[in-house]
């Protein structure tokens, strides 16, 4: 007995369809797919906001920005930004690629890493932790924005 490709495919589809019984799991997958597809416009909008300010954020609440300014000026501007925000600057330490500033507020631990990329270019990485596992990306972003404000004299 020889079947043509079309009849074999049709038979296979009918067999699969006959064995499929809707379950709670399949209903969940359909609903989840519909709901998750609605998140894409929000993600694109959030990406646009970060791109317009030149600040990159990672999923763990860390904010990044590169300035065309020497590291010592970015350090002073960062300390001025912390002071303006009412955040206490605790220490500054040399690290392999630059400097690490530590600060705190009543319920946040702040770390600012300054990496000297070139003599006139500095990458800033800001992290604000609220407890052991919670990150505050809004505060990290604001520290970078206030640092930029200090650098421009605005």
Contacts with 53 (C-beta within 8 Å, 6 or more apart), sequence order: 141, 145
- Whether the Cβ atoms of residue 143 and residue 73 lie closer than 8 Å to each other: no
At 54-104, the pLDDT tens digits run 666 555 778 999 999 999 999 999 999 999 999 999 999 999 889 999 999
* The CATH classification of domain 55-152, taken from the options 3.40.50.620, 3.60.20.10, 3.40.50.1000, 3.30.160.110: 3.30.160.110
Burial (CB count within 10 angstroms: exposed 0-12, middle 13-18, buried 19+), residue 70: middle
Point out the least confidently predicted range of 14-23, 81-90, 117-126, 129-138. Answer: 14-23
Vertex 14 angle, CA 10 and 20, to 5° = 145
Q: Is the dihedral of CA 29, 30, 33, 38 positive or negative?
A: negative
pLDDT attached to residue 31:
55
pLDDT attached to residue 49:
46
At 7-55, the pLDDT tens digits run 444 554 455 445 545 565 555 555 555 555 554 544 444 444 444 456 6
Hey, where are the domains in the chain? 55-152
């Amino acid at each position: 007995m020889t079947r043509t490709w079309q009849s074999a495919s049709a038979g296979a589809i009918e067999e699969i369809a006959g064995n499929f019984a809707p379950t709670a799991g399949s209903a969940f997958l359909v609903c989840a797919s519909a709901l998750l597809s609605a998140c894409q416009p929000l993600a694109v909008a959030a990406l646009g906001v970060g791109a317009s300010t030149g600040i990159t954020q990672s999923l763990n609440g860390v904010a990044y920005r590169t300035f065309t300014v020497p590291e010592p000026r970015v350090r002073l501007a960062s300390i001025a930004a912390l002071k303006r925000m009412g955040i206490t600057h605790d220490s500054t330490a040399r690290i392999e690629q630059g400097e690490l500033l530590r600060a705190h507020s009543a319920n946040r631990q702040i770390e600012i890493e300054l990496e000297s990329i070139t003599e006139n270019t500095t990458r800033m990485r800001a992290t604000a932790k609220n407890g052991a596992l919670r990150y505050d990306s809004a505060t990290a972003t604001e520290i970078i924005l206030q640092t930029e404000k200090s650098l421009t004299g605005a």
